[in-house]
Amino acid sequence: MQLEQLYQKALNFEYLTKEEGMFLFENAPLAELSYVADTLRKKQVPHGKVTWQIDRNLNTTNVCIANCKFCNFYRIPGHPESYITDMDTYRVKIKETIAWGGDQLLLQGGHHPELGLDFYANLFKQIKAEFPDIKLHTLGPPEIAHIAKIGGHTHTHVLKTLKEAGMNSLPGAGAEILVDRVRKLVSNGKCGAQEWLDVMAAAHQLDITSSATMMFGHVETLEERFIHLIKIREVQDMKPEGANGFLAFIPWTFQDVDTLLTKIRGVHNLTTTEEYIRMIAISRIMLPNIKNIQASWLTVGKATAQVCLEAGANDFGSIMLEENVVSAAGAPHRFTYKSIQEAIKEAGFEPQLRNQHYEWRELPEGIQEQVIDY
């Protein structure tokens, strides 16, 4: 293979094969790989601004039977620290979110064995009844699959019911690596790779906008990362005309502090700064049918995320007014609405506040800066 031929193929928005992508990842000089990805970004996102968001990650429950080996957040049923969030707590936190400029809740939790479709539909309806302007970016394919399984429903029925109850979009949670060899080692209690993809395909048929993610830097091989990227690309190609499908792709690194994956299997996140930048660039190149590539400042930090803006990324994601899951495994990085804009400007770009559908927002008048104490 010739690097120049692959660069040109990428710049023509042609699909690279798994082997071609791996060859680029392993052999292309970082500066050249970044240049190709940055050129594609400029074509796909011609306004040149770096988008960001204000939302809050609220957890419906920490009870979970999936037993993921990278998660320190969950508690087994009956654990003294287990909880189901009540409506009074939602009210307090939603009011705070609005005061801090947020327009959305990212509502996720665990695979609770007793919380089915009625629970989530009623919850969404109640939140929307009291806070009609709050957007609900909710659950993820593994939770949809779990709700369907315990209730005897189809994925489509669950998704349609939740959409009617107030779901605005579906996060790309629980993808990890979409290869069952990996999933059996790190998240055996979750749905398999094909079911994850099936849930997303069903969501897109209902015109539910979603995102896609990849957690890497643990037990997966490089080839398995590229299998993951191609599966995401294939599902995006299946979306109905006019639907957004996957509106963004977010690769992030395994966080290894005190996880079972580290304690029992000795797996550590050894992802270097250069490797993460390469993954951002190759994501832009391998996924020409997904417009937005997000740099995960939460897991790699401000400086690395800033460099990614010159390597194919166009989005900084949310400041996450609250985040409990990845942080529980050691992710230490935080932003306020002021500091994320400063970071984007430091990198030489203009920040632009957005919503989950990548529509631009103005900063709300009277917005309060959150005091970060978590």
Q: According to the model, what pLDDT value does residue 232 have?
A: 98
pLDDT tens digits along 151-177: 999 999 999 999 999 999 999 999 999
Q: Which 3 state secondary structure label does DSSP give 147?
A: helix
Q: According to the model, what pLDDT value does residue 283 have?
A: 98
User: What average pLDDT does the segment 345-372 reach?
Assistant: 90
DSSP assignment of 291-344 equals: -EEB--HHHH-HHHHHHHTTTT--EEEE--S---TTGGGT------HHHHHHHH
Q: According to the model, what pLDDT value does residue 264 have?
A: 75
User: What average pLDDT does the segment 245-252 reach?
Assistant: 96
Angle among Cα 256, 258, 263 to the nearest 5 degrees reads 90
Is 206 within 8 Å of 159 (Cβ atoms)? yes
pTM: 0.94
Confidence grade of residue 34 (pLDDT, cut at 50, 70, 90)? very high
Q: According to the model, what pLDDT value does residue 327 have?
A: 58
Q: According to the model, what pLDDT value does residue 41 have?
A: 98
Residue 313 pLDDT > 90: yes
Q: Please state, for a pLDDT cut of 90, what percent of the chain lies above it.
A: 79
Q: According to the model, what pLDDT value does residue 373 have?
A: 64
The mean predicted confidence, pLDDT, of the chain is: 93
pLDDT tens digits along 37-63: 999 999 999 999 999 999 998 999 999
Instruction: Give the integer Cα–Cα distance in Å for 297 and 308.
Output: 10
Burial 324-354 (b: 16+ CB within 10 A, else e): ebbbbbbbebbbbbeebbebbeebebebbbb
Residue 321 pLDDT > 90: no
User: What average pLDDT does the segment 309-330 reach?
Assistant: 79
Confidence grade of residue 335 (pLDDT, cut at 50, 70, 90)? confident
Confidence grade of residue 331 (pLDDT, cut at 50, 70, 90)? low
pLDDT tens digits along 170-220: 999 999 999 999 999 999 899 999 999 999 999 999 999 999 999 999 999
For residue 129 the two structure tokens come to: 């009844």
Residue 328 pLDDT > 80: no
Q: According to the model, what pLDDT value does residue 261 have?
A: 80
Q: According to the model, what pLDDT value does residue 181 have?
A: 97
pLDDT tens digits along 59-107: 999 999 988 887 888 898 899 999 999 999 999 999 999 999 999 999 9
Residue 322 pLDDT > 90: no
User: What average pLDDT does the segment 244-271 reach?
Assistant: 85
Beta-sheet strands, E only, within 112-245: 135-138, 169-170, 209-216
Is 217 within 8 Å of 261 (Cβ atoms)? no
Residue 330 pLDDT > 60: no
Could you tell me which residues are beta bridge partners of residue 137?
A: 106, 169
Q: According to the model, what pLDDT value does residue 220 have?
A: 95
Q: According to the model, what pLDDT value does residue 372 have?
A: 67
Residue with tokens 């409506």: 87
Class for domain 3-353, per CATH? alpha beta
